[in-house]
Structure 1
Amino acid sequence: MGSHAAAYFEALRAEMADWRRTLHQHPELAYEERWTADFLAAKLESFGYTPARGLGGTGVVASLAGGAGPSVGLRADMDALPILEQTNRPYASRIPGKMHACGHDGHMTMLLAAARYFAEHPQIEGTIHFIFQPAEEGAGGAQAMIEDGLFARFPVERVFGLHNWPGQEKGSFAGRAGPLMAAYDTFDITLTGRGAHAAMPHQGTDLLLAAAQVQTQLQSIVARSLDPLENAVVSVTQIHGGDAYNVLPCEVVMRGCTRHFTLPVQDLIEARMGDICRGVAASFGCAVALAYDRRYPATVNAAAELGLAAAAARAAGAASVETDVAPSMVSEDFAFMLRQKPGCYLWLGTGPIEGGKSLHSPTFDFDDDVLALGATWWVEVARQALRA
């Protein structure tokens, strides 16, 4: 069936590119994807589906039930990013300050095309649920859909996801069993003390100096507290404090994120952050509050489902298939679905990072050349899962 599906999508190439570029022109941020949901639902209805709406706020799910057999979930993300686009494409974002800079427009298009294929070739043994998920970019839309009853209303034995991956050989697929992408936590550190004239610092508390000490010591967590064979990142990304050249502020706020793959490392990072904050605050004579928020778990692939996904990639005509790729420290909320069901998340290579191909860049644009291959993979992974 791979060759038939591949030929089908090659013939659909121009229409798929048109869908993708239309979606690209209408980016919407997390939980705002109403136009996007309307677009997807209208297409799905035109294919003959009766999509469910509103899971996780703006999510869309369409189902195809064949004969008796297993059920599989296929998921694509919907949301855009708060980035001012600089591609100068004729189909660039029409909404200033919002942009599909991570390729979710392409992800939706590939899954939408697979839904059309199965609507026209419905001879399957089992059920396929096409899941269009909102709010992947830091807002936990996968968890929101689950809490809204995603897997209760649309039960599945397995679930699969796919992401375009600049820097990987174009047309190749890559993944690994176990952690593929890191867990993602955020933190807020608030230092408070006495403000003072900058010419008389002894009369106050130099919270900016304290913040500098906190930032420096936080880097000792990975360098000196963590087993060198483990992986983690601790990044301070914001420091806010002060409004004048000659005033030491009475409050400084630091924010950032951490990345890691295992619960023991996560526990160690949070504990050490608390120790460091309290220690620096005591030495400066100021107060400190640490708010540590565990946001996304690690994205962990099941070995059996990785095998199915890799076999589907080969059947789809992948340039190559890597099943032991090095993991990435970026995060993905598909992890919540993989906590509920066994499954697999793969990367689809789009070639060298050049000419603005980097994810989350204002010059990023999804490579339409991989749309047909990605849609073919969706068909093949569904067939593999329903046969397993």
Structure 2
Amino acid sequence: MGTNTIDVDIDELVALRRDIHANPEIAFDEHRTSELVAARLIAWDIETYTGIGGTGVVGVVRGRRGAGRTIALRADMDALPMEEEGRPLHRSMRHGVFHGCGHDGHTAMLLGAARHFSRNRDFTGTVVLVFQPAEETGGGANAMLADGLEERFGYDEIYAMHNAPHFPPGTFGVRDGAMLASCDEIAISIGGVGGHGSSPEKTRDPVMAAAQLVCALQTVVSRSTDPGAMAVVSIGSIHAGSAPNVIPSHAALTGTLRTFDENVRALVKARIRTICEGMAIATECTISVDFLNSSPATVNHREQAEAAATVAAGVFGADNVLRDFAPLNGSEDFSEFLLRRPGAYVLLGQGGVYCHHPEFDFNDDVLPLGVRFFVAMTHARLSA
């Protein structure tokens, strides 16, 4: 199918995207967004299922030529708990909630593909449209899977697309193998004995323990992992105390661990636990560590990644398809789908500031390119 035969209602897509941007919702609170998505699918006479994994929505389009393969396309719907600092006309109307990662654009592109398939059903097989909640927290994919997504819809392959500000508009990126790192949130709780700042000998200082832990944890990467293995341990927050002359009784650290290798991931987790245990002995504090909202590395299947590159060459032009680039240290719970079914995670160049920047905004000019890729990819794999 040539890309010129794929109909895209650009004005409608832009309006949908900007409406979602102006009304953002965080993980598992995507009620308005889910209702908007479901209403569109129903209006387009697409078989629609709601409440999957909490606020997830699934649409099913069956080809008129009968049964065949089933291809799933996935978009994430949730926003970030952060304030928007940009000033577009469609600026977020919710304080402290913002589509700073482009999930509004991902949802709009998948709706564009849904609109096309609703009008053009002359194919063999089935298209499953997966609108996922809670990607940012890493819980949405597993929630949908636990709700029987695979068993109920029986897809053979699954694909997802994410905007890529570090690639120019009109370009496309896909790798064989690792695309994104795993991510584990690190939560460390330190219990001590508080007291007056003038008498530290009468306390067990959790602030001192926290300070030493921040430095000690950096040795996990520099001294415990192979220099050729990618691992990043970052502490992003320290919370302790409320007055300058009081040693508090509790401190808390949070951070993230990222890697591309499950063996390295297990090693780093074990070393973090050991260092926390040692620091507890050294400081006479109690220290516990938990790993939360974990997602494994996003690893593309070779056949599906190569098929995506071939299809993208027809949509973007062969010179605009990027294959040789380093995997990203960001993470995605689309990895959970790829652990269970063949598929690929691809990148759509859009330029601009990077995701999670307070002035981020999805580039509406690339919406039709995303729709055309989704449609062309689906037809290619339905007939594979």
In the alignment, which residue of structure 1 is the partner of 2:190?
191
SS in 2 for 1:51: strand
AA partner of residue 21 (structure 1): R
Counterpart-to-counterpart distance in 2, 1:166 and 1:100:
14
Could you tell me which residue of structure 2 aligns to residue 17 of structure 1?
A: 14
The alignment status of 1:334 with 2:334, answered yes or no, reads: yes
Report the TM-score, using the length of structure 2 for normalisation: 0.96
| Greater displacement, 145-154 / 310-319 | 310-319
Higher mean alpha-carbon deviation, 200-209 vs 98-107, is at 200-209
Q: Is 1:361 aligned to residue 357 of structure 2?
A: yes
Whether contact under 8 Å (1:64, 1:128) holds in the other structure is yes
CA RMSD of aligned residues (A): 1.3
Give the superposition deviation at 1:331. Answer: 0.5
Deviation at 1:294, TM superposition (A): 6.1
Q: How far 1:287 sits from its partner (Å)?
A: 2.0
SS in 2 for 1:69: coil
Superposed CA deviations along residues 101-134 of structure 1, whole A, max 9, x for unmatched, are: 1111111111111111111111111111011111
Equivalent pair of 1:103/1:366 in contact (CA under 8 Å): yes
CA–CA separation in structure 1 for the residues paired with 2:35 and 2:5:
27
- Contact preservation (8 Å) 2:171, 2:316: no
Aligned-residue identity in percent: 41
Counterpart position of 2:211: 212
Q: Is the 8 A contact 1:204 1:248 kept in 2?
A: yes
Distance 1:359 1:311 in 2: 27
Partner of 1:59: 56
List aligned pairs for 1:194-273, cutoff 5 A.
194-273=193-272
What does residue 347 of structure 1 align with? 347
AA in 1 matched with 2:347: W
Deviation by residue 1:322-341 (Cα, 9 ceiling, x = unmatched) = 22321011110111111110
Residue type at the aligned position of 1:31? F
Where in structure 2 are the equivalents of 1:236-315 lying within 5 Å?
236-293=235-292, 295-315=294-314
SS of 2:329 mapped into structure 1: coil
2:47, 2:61 within 8 Å by CA — same for their partners in 1? no
In 2, Cα distance between equivalents of 1:293 and 1:24 = 28
Give the structure 1 partner of residue 46 of structure 2.
Answer: 49
Q: Check the 8 A contact 2:185/2:294 in 1, yes or no.
A: yes
Distance of 2:297 and 2:167 partners within structure 1: 21
Query: What residue identity is the alignment partner of 2:45?
Result: G
The answer for the alignment partner of 2:87 in structure 1 is 88
Q: SS of 2:94's equivalent?
A: coil
Aligned residues: 381
Structure 1 distance, partners of 2:376, 2:101, is 24
Q: Does 1:372 align with 2:361?
A: no
Moved over 6 A (4+): none
Structure 2 contact 75–106 (Cα < 8 Å) conserved? yes
- TM-score w.r.t. structure 1 length? 0.95
User: What is the CA–CA distance in structure 1 between the aligned matches of 2:247 and 2:147, rounded to whole Å?
Assistant: 48
In structure 2, the gaps of 5 or more residues are none
Question: What residue number does 2:132 align with?
Answer: 133
Deviation, 1:316, is 1.5
Contact 1:73 1:160 in 2 (8 A): yes
Equivalents in 1 of 2:11, 2:91: separation in Å? Answer: 18
